[in-house]
Amino acid sequence: MSLLNPSAAGLLRDARRIVVFTGAGISAESGVPTFRDDLTGLWAQFDAQRLATPEAFHADPDLVWGWYEWRRARVLHTEPNPGHLAAAAIEARVPGTVVITQNVDDLHERAGSRAPVHLHGSLFAPRCVAEAAHPAPVPELAAGVGEGRRIPPPRCADCGWLVRPGVVWFGEALPEAALTAAVDAAVACDLLLTVGTSGVVYPAAEIPRLAARSGATVIQVNPEPTPLDRVCEVNLRGPAAEILPALVAAAWKEI
């Protein structure tokens, strides 16, 4: 417990409406490369921002789909870490807890979180290019995807248009339903845990600030200082895989 501020466990234990807000740091601890780090092999010659746009997909869909399938394959070879499991434990302990994530992996789901809000979409939610409301089945990984190569995207079963990755690209707005759910949860919560996020990617970075302005206590878990430090009542320095399980254990000693 030396890693924790003594008041943090009490704040968590006494909270009745909790938001767990996570960023790239928590998944990096499972070995998921960050967005710009996942450029090896064939992909090393590309700028991540030039692959992650609608224009890039329409210009070369096989290239962009192949990169996202490469990323999805890497995620599937990782496992949720104790930080993800601790977030699910908070959900189980406090009904109505909302997990909001900036990550596009499925590690929260695999850890047991029921319905995390994906602000930036998901590698596991492809959709039709023509009809964004039409989800597409998650395809089997193509042969050779682990080697990193161009892969033709599937076609929509309803209209025949291309299927695109279900992530938010540069120049696109966040999904309206996800953003509304996140804002509503932040305004209504009495405690927000911000975990492994830099606090600089907007509009997602506004969620902890919105919670603080609405009267919630904000606790940050991050190895390094971030711009969110000044809105947090408690800053816990260290990796999520260590800090979050210790915090949960201290809050509810029988867990």
> What does the pLDDT look like over 43-53, one tens digit per residue?
466 677 778 99
Query: Among the CATH numbers 3.20.20.70, 3.30.420.40, 3.30.1600.10, 3.40.50.1980, which is that of 33-77+124-167?
Result: 3.30.1600.10
The model's pLDDT over 131-158, given as tens digits with 9 standing for 90+, comes to 876 789 998 887 767 666 889 999 998 8
Judge whether 12 and 251 are in contact, CB under 8 Å: yes
What CATH fold (topology level) applies to the domain 1-30+80-120+173-255? Rossmann fold (3.40.50)
Rounded to whole angstroms, the Cα distance separating 53 from 199 reads 22
Rounded to whole angstroms, the Cα distance separating 146 from 95 reads 39
Given 84, 108, 118, 120, which residue is catalytic?
Answer: 120
The model's pLDDT over 176-209, given as tens digits with 9 standing for 90+, comes to 999 999 999 999 999 999 999 988 889 999 999 9
Q: Which residue, 100, 94, 120, is CA-closest to 211?
A: 100
Distances in whole angstroms, Cα of residue 174 to Cα of each of 146, 169, 177, 182, 203: 29, 9, 9, 11, 8
Kindly list the strands in the beta sheet with 98-101, ordered across the sheet, starting from the edge strand earlier in the chain.
117-118, 98-101, 18-22, 191-195, 217-221, 234-236
Domain limits, the chain: 1-30+80-120+173-255, 33-77+124-167
Active site residue 120: yes
Rounded to whole angstroms, the Cα distance separating 213 from 79 reads 35
Position 1 scores a pLDDT of 37
Rounded to whole angstroms, the Cα distance separating 170 from 47 reads 13
Please report the beta strands in 59-172, taking only residues with DSSP state E, as ranges in sequence order: 98-101, 117-118, 121-128, 163-167
The residue type of 150 is R
The model's pLDDT over 66-124, given as tens digits with 9 standing for 90+, comes to 989 988 998 999 999 999 999 999 999 999 999 999 999 999 999 999 999 999 999 99
* pTM for this entry: 0.92
